[in-house]
Structure 1
Amino acid sequence: MFTKKNVSFPTEKFLGFILVTCILIVFLLVGQTTALFTDAETTPTNEVETAVLRLELSPITQLFDIPNLIPGDSILRSITVVNTGTVPYTYEITSNSLSNSLLFTDAIDGLQVDVSHSGGSIYNGSVSAMTTGNAVSSLLPGESETLDVFITFPVTAGNSFQNITEQVEFTFTATQLPGTSR
């Protein structure tokens, strides 16, 4: 007849040990069969340096300080633009009023300006209309050019222009020329 035997199953610890052992054996076999030759080379240090865009003005003092201006007066001053950077650029000139008086805002009887250089006139009109960029020219590194700034107070200006003070700034803005493939 049949007799009952006690059958015991391995414990969970024992099964875990067997599983880890099997995984290690697989990794050892795979590791031995996937060996590859490798080699590496490194280039000498490569360097990239960015350009410097720098526009300088000479003289750097104010262009105009005129007391007792009367209709019909005109003033001529010169300013030199110098490219002291390492990249060629174009530049433009704009005007800005700090006091926004009638001398600035009146396009007919207010201050008139004529900016020119050796290539001819760059801008000729009211100082107030110079608020949008007026492209002048381009300068290579180390180059400079002198601009003549001629301010006129029209003879047609009436009594409403008496006892007015105006402060005008001229801003020179440089923009690099497009980059190239090197």
Structure 2
Amino acid sequence: MKRLRSVFQFFLLIGGLYFLPVVSVFADSENDTDKKELDISLSPKDTLFDISNMKPGDWAPRTLTVKNSGSKDFNYYMHLQNNGEKKLYNELLLEIKSDDKELYQGKLAAFKSLPARKLTNRSDENLDITIRFPEHLGNEFQGLDAVFDFIFSVERKNSTAIQAVTKGQIESGGVASAGLKLPATSTNLFNLMLVGSVLVLGGIVLMIIRHYKRTKIAQ
């Protein structure tokens, strides 16, 4: 009897080892199916904003394409994550539009999330995203940067969400020599006025010298 029980346990063990790879294959197959049904992708994929020497009054428009590459319709969500210092990040402005419809306008740091947006299978939509550097920011923002992620997610039942991420990085530029941060157009206007003033002053001096010479000759 004991011998028969031992033989039975041996065959049970062999059977378990035999069917284990089959169960694993079925599990992997289910995961692959789940990924094919729900699949979100972005373009550009890695980096949406990579801007250096941004100054007060500057703005940077970008277009981000969100694509449903799976076989099922889904709702996706978008939120931001700050990965750097807060000082400049807290002041930058963000605008988001889709088909000229405004979805958000306000501070970058105040953005929480877009309401759920539906994408049918094998379709995509463009989001027009603009970041603005406020004109009033002064010298204390010179040389600072803001680093953040745009995170897009699709929720799955009884499982972790599928996510796609694209990055943003903004670096502020220098300031005007007068100690006031000016847009490039203001600096150019100041230079033109300065050159014009010098030319006018030079012309007046030449007229005085010419008048003095004529008066001396007449005497």
- TM-score between the two structures when normalised by the length of structure 2: 0.53
1:83 and 2:68 correspond = yes
Q: Report the counterpart of residue 117 of structure 1 in structure 2.
A: 98
Decide which structure has the larger Cα Rg and report it.
1
Structure 1 consecutive aligned stretches of length 4 or more whose deviation exceeds 3 Å: 48-51
One-letter code aligned to 1:122: L
Residue 119 of structure 1: CA displacement? 5.8
Q: Considering only aligned residues, what root-mean-square deviation do their CA atoms show, in Å?
A: 2.1
Distance 1:76 1:158, change over 3 A: same
Unaligned runs of 5+ in 2: 1-29, 158-219
- TM-score between the two structures when normalised by the length of structure 1: 0.63
Q: Report the counterpart of residue 56 of structure 2 in structure 1.
A: 71
Distance, in Å, in 2 between the alignment partners of 1:176 and 1:145 is 21
Unaligned runs of 5+ in 1: 1-47, 178-182
Q: 1:6-155 alignment to 2 at 5 Å?
A: 52-105=37-90, 110-118=91-99, 120-130=101-111, 132-135=112-115, 137-155=117-135
Residue 52 of structure 1: CA displacement? 2.2
1:170 and 2:137 correspond = no
Does the 8 Å contact 1:53/1:87 carry over to 2? yes
Does the 8 Å contact 1:113/1:126 carry over to 2? yes
Residue 133 of structure 1: CA displacement? 2.0
SS in 1 for 2:64: strand
Q: Aligned pairs, how many?
A: 125
Distance, in Å, in 2 between the alignment partners of 1:68 and 1:122 is 28
Distance 1:65 1:176, change over 3 A: same
Distance 1:136 1:121, change over 3 A: farther
Does the 8 Å contact 1:96/1:128 carry over to 2? no
Deviations 1:98-122 (A, max 9, x none): 11331112xxxx1111011116111
Does the 8 Å contact 2:92/2:133 carry over to 1? yes
Distance, in Å, in 2 between the alignment partners of 1:155 and 1:136 is 33
